Structure formats: structure tokens, C-alpha cells
């Protein structure tokens, strides 16, 4: 009797784990894609995954909609390098991974549990969208998921892997998570597909152009990272997790390092060009001061004039925000302000100290930026720095002009410790622009304006555009030798450990979205 019941259990178990069946699994593989369960196996520690709601089926009334165990989504929990995580993965072999009422209930259940126990949530997207046959109940399910995304925000890290289609209202759940990783050639996200775009707007556009990895990694900023394939995607998630705490009540994990916290780098000063307007790659400075040259960049190909990412200093996770003079001279614009502000707010949510490196000539001028809202978007960066209560350390390396000086973690935004290299130039305007205004009459009447302008600019730079005036006022805490940047920042981090800052009570602020 018991043997028969056990036999039935394993028959149903095998049936559930076969997804949409052998034919559909082969079709998935023929597209170069793994199945939902294969993806989960790649992600979690071997043997750690425990599936929930394996035998759930849809309860729709349409007799033509075949019932499958699992109802198109695999949910459960496991571990990554021994750390507990919760995961859901859409199963494209079952009804195209479409979302119905019961599938959404499965996802919501796993999200609620992740929030309650305080563990990262990972969603693997490969879905045809809302299940049309279930009508409003499918839409109702997405609404429940969006609500949980919002509830979980700032409590647990939420990571999305886009490894297939994601269309319509379904795209807003990934967009509400902290990090989105898209796989080249197979990850797609769009609100309306090419066919609808063509019918409504008479515009011919391919799936890739409309919502592929390149579009979202370089133009829209929806994708934080791009992976060449599914294997690399899972490795990126595993790497990302190593920098993050389990939840907002924990500190990020510390790792032992053989990289001496007192290591000096005399070559740092030589990385900065003599000409302050000559482009250079600030990543060489970043990798020099962090542990083991290991920098995990976020949004690498979006708004490249600013760099954000995770690293370790003295074994502790830090978030790096830095202007990048290699692109657009490191100016702040709409996209870079949004990119940095969002990263800063993530770091602040999860107790990750923020290290800011500054070399920027200011905000990008022009009618395009003004008309598209540089004032509104630029204010987000100010808001993010002001709101952040984690340890904040800023080092001005080169130019720090005007409003961009203020926005890049200045002392006025309650940054804890502000360093500057001797090469720092802190001013309302760059020397050339400043003397053009101050000495406009003299330059206008001169026969040799170019020579006089250069001379006056050099005098302005020596007299005003240096870090010592700010240091005299206590706005810069210390002017440091570039070679000791790593040592000084790690020392500052240690001094700020345990920092607690509580502001006046409020429901929430009103960031200028």
C-alpha cells in the first residue's frame, strides 16, 4: 500500500520536473537556452535547492489551456556559497512561461518569505507575459508582484536575470529590482513589441533594437550588466552577492585580503595628466587604491562619464562613485546623475560606505540637457548624497567646478571626511571661463587676447583654483599625497565604523523623480 503511494509521488515528481515535456525542452535547447531548472542548478550550491509549490496547476476555465504541474514558474530557496537565497524562474516550456493567477501566487509566496527571513531574492525571467486566457486574474497577479517588489526594496537585495522575453506590464517588476542582468541575444524587455509599434506608429524596428541587451545596457539604463551567455550571467550574480549583505539589518560581508591596507603607490600622481583638460582613464586610479585591483562595475556601458561599482578596501565592501574624464570630460548630465543617484541610494539602503572620487568640469550645458530636465535629474544626485547616512568619504583628484563640486559628495552634503590631492582645482568656474567673465573688457580690447588669457588663467589657477583655500576653511579635511590615498581612505573607514545618524521623523522625502 505504502509502496503504491510512494510510486505515485515519484511519478508526479518526475512529471512536474519534466516541465512542458521533452519536445518543448528540446525546443528550448535548440534556441541555445537552458530550462528553468537547469538555470537554478547553475546558480545555487549543489543539492541546496528546495522547491516549493511543485504541484500547483492553474485553475482557469479554458478547456484548451493544458494544465502542467508548476504552472510555468519554479520557486524555492537554496544557497549561494553557503548564503541563503530565494529564487523564482519562469519556465518557458510551460505555456510560454506566461503568468496566471496561481503562478503569481507562487511568486508572491516566495517574495513574502524572502522579506520575512531577510535573504536576497533572485528572479529569472523568460516569459511570454500575461496569460491571456486568465484575463484580469493575470493582471491582478502582476499587481501583487509589483507591490512585493516595492515592499522588499531597501529590505533585501533584489536581482533579476533577463534570459528571454519579458513584455508588457511584466517589465516593471525587473525595473523595480536593484540589479538587472541581461544575456546577449536572448534577453529582451519592452512594453510593446515590434508588431504593435509598427501597427500604431508605422515604425519598423527589430526585437533587439527595441528591447535587446544593447539598447538597455547603453541607452535606457534598464540593464545594469550584460552577460555573454547564461553561464556568465549566473557567475555575475554569484559575484555580486559576495559584496552585499543578506538584508538591511546586516553589515556587508568582510573578506580577508593579503593586500596591505598601508600599501603606498608612488605612481598614482603620474596617472593624472599635467594638462587638467587632457582625458585619462580614472579606473587606473580606482584599481590602484582598492583591494587586489578587484572592481565590480555596475552600469559599465550606460552614462560612461560616471563610474559606479563595488570594491573592497581593507576587506570591507565599499561603493565607488567616480567621474570618468575619459568620456565627456567627466561632466555630470541627466543619465550620469540618475545612474549615480540610484547607486548611492542602494548603498545607503544596505549599509555600504560610499567612496567618491572627483574630477569634473561641471554640469553639461546646452538646450538638449535643459529641455530634458537636467535641473530635475541633476537634483537627484544632490538628494541621494544628502539622504545617505552611511559613511561617506570624498577625495577630489582634479577639477571640481561649480554645482558639480557640490553634487559630488561635498562637505555641505554631510560627507564625513573630505580629502583632496594637491592637484585639486576647486572653483565656481574653471580658470579659463572665470577670467573670460572677470576680465572680459580687458580681453576684448587687447590685441593679444590669447596670450593674456593664458597668463590670467594660470594666475587664477594658482591663486584660487587649489585645495588649500578650502582646507583653510575646513571644507577639505586634509590635502594628501596621492600615493597615500588608499591608506587614508581605509583609515577614515575604520574611524567611521559604527556610524549612526538619525534625522527628523518623516514618512518619506519627496525626491524629484
Active-site amino acid positions: 168-169, 403-404
Going by C-alpha positions, the residue among 71, 75, 105 that lies closest to residue 87 is: 75
- Is 181 in contact with 226 (CB distance < 8 Å)? yes
Which three cell numbers mark 386? Answer: 544628502
Phi, psi (5° rounding) for residue 212? -85, 180
**Residue 200 burial (C-beta neighbours within 10 Å; 0-12, 13-18, 19+):** exposed
Residue 342: in which H helix or E strand, if any?
Answer: helix 334-349
Q: Are β-strands 425-427 and 225-227 bridged in parallel, bridged antiparallel, or unpaired?
A: unpaired
Count CA atoms closer than 13 A to 382's CA, side-chain side. 16
**Residue 156 burial (C-beta neighbours within 10 Å; 0-12, 13-18, 19+):** buried
Alpha-carbon distance 221 to 340, whole Å? 12
Q: Cβ of 498: how many Cβ atoms within 10 Å?
A: 7
Phi, psi (5° rounding) for residue 90? -65, 140
Give helix 374-387 / helix 334-349 axis angle, nearest 10°. 20
Alpha-carbon distance 236 to 298, whole Å? 11
Going by C-alpha positions, the residue among 419, 407, 392, 405 that lies closest to residue 485 is: 419
Alpha-carbon distance 13 to 37, whole Å? 13
Count, residues in the chain: 513
What's the order of all strands across the beta sheet hosting 225-227? 50-52, 73-80, 83-90, 121-125, 158-162, 179-183, 225-227
DSSP character at residue 365: P
Alpha-carbon distance 78 to 484, whole Å? 43
Q: Cβ of 431: how many Cβ atoms within 10 Å?
A: 24
Alpha-carbon distance 381 to 334, whole Å? 10
Question: In the beta sheet, which residues pair with residue 99?
Answer: 130
Which three cell numbers mark 471? Answer: 582646507
Task: Give CA angle at 343 (296, 165), nearest 5°.
Answer: 80
288: left (phi over 0), alpha (psi -120 to 50) or beta: alpha
Alpha-carbon distance 279 to 13, whole Å? 60
Going by C-alpha positions, the residue among 393, 398, 399, 397 that lies closest to residue 363 is: 399
Amino acid at each position: 500500500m505504502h509502496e503504491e503511494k510512494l510510486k505515485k509521488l515519484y511519478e508526479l515528481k518526475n512529471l512536474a520536473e519534466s516541465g512542458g515535456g521533452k519536445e518543448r525542452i528540446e525546443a528550448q535547447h535548440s534556441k541555445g537556452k537552458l530550462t528553468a531548472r537547469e538555470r537554478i542548478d547553475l546558480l545555487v550550491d549543489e543539492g541546496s535547492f528546495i522547491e516549493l509549490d511543485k504541484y500547483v496547476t492553474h485553475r482557469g476555465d479554458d478547456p484548451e489551456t493544458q494544465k502542467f504541474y508548476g504552472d510555468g514558474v519554479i520557486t524555492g530557496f537554496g544557497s549561494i556559497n553557503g548564503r541563503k537565497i530565494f529564487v523564482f524562474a519562469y519556465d518557458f516550456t510551460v505555456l510560454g512561461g506566461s503568468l496566471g493567477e496561481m503562478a503569481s501566487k507562487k511568486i508572491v509566496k516566495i517574495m513574502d518569505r524572502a522579506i520575512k527571513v531577510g535573504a536576497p531574492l533572485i528572479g529569472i525571467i523568460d516569459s511570454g507575459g500575461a496569460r491571456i486566457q486568465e484575463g484580469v486574474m493575470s493582471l491582478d497577479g502582476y499587481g501583487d508582484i509589483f507591490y512585493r517588489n516595492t515592499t522588499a526594496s531597501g529590505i533585501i537585495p533584489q536581482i533579476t536575470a533577463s534570459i528571454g522575453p519579458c513584455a508588457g506590464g511584466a517589465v516593471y517588476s525587473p525595473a523595480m529590482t536593484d540589479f538587472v542582468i541581461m544575456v546577449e541575444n536572448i534577453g529582451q524587455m519592452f512594453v510593446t513589441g515590434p508588431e504593435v509599434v509598427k501597427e500604431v506608429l508605422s515604425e519598423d524596428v527589430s526585437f533587439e533594437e527595441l528591447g535587446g541587451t544593447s539598447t538597455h545596457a547603453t541607452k535606457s539604463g534598464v540593464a545594469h550588466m550584460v552577460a555573454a551567455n547564461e553561464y556568465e550571467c549566473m557567475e555575475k550574480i554569484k559575484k555580486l552577492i559576495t559584496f552585499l549583505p543578506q538584508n538591511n539589518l546586516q553589515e556587508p560581508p568582510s573578506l580577508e585580503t593579503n593586500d596591505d591596507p598601508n600599501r603606498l603607490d608612488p605612481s598614482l600622481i603620474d596617472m593624472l595628466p599635467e594638462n587638467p583638460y587632457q582625458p585619462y582613464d580614472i579606473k587606473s586610479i580606482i584599481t590602484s587604491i582598492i583591494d587586489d585591483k578587484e572592481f565590480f562595475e555596475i552600469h559599465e556601458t550606460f552614462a560612461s562619464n560616471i563610474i559606479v561599482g563595488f570594491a573592497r578596501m581593507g576587506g570591507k565592501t565599499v561603493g565607488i562613485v567616480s567621474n570618468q574624464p575619459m568620456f565627456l570630460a567627466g561632466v555630470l548630465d541627466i543619465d550620469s546623475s540618475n545612474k549615480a543617484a540610484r547607486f548611492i541610494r542602494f548603498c545607503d539602503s544596505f549599509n555600504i560606505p560610499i567612496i567618491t572620487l572627483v574630477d569634473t568640469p561641471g554640469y553639461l550645458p546646452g538646450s538638449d540637457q535643459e529641455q530634458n530636465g537636467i535641473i530635475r535629474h541633476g537634483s537627484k544626485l544632490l538628494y541621494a548624497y544628502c539622504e545617505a547616512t552611511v559613511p561617506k568619504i570624498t577625495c577630489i583628484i582634479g577639477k571640481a567646478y561649480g554645482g558639480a563640486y557640490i553634487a559630488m559628495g561635498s562637505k555641505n552634503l554631510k560627507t564625513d571626511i573630505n580629502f583632496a590631492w594637491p592637484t585639486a582645482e576647486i572653483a565656481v568656474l574653471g580658470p579659463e571661463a572665470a577670467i573670460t567673465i572677470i576680465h572680459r573688457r580687458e580681453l576684448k580690447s587687447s590685441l593679444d587676447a590669447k596670450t593674456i588669457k593664458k597668463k590670467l588663467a594660470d594666475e587664477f589657477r594658482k591663486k584660487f583654483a587649489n585645495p588649500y583655500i578650502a582646507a583653510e576653511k575646513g571644507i577639505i579635511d586634509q590635502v594628501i599625497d596621492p600615493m597615500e590615498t588608499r591608506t587614508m581612505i581605509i583609515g577614515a573607514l575604520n574611524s567611521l565604523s559604527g556610524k549612526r545618524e538619525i534625522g527628523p521623523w518623516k514618512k518619506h522625502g519627496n525626491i524629484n523623480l
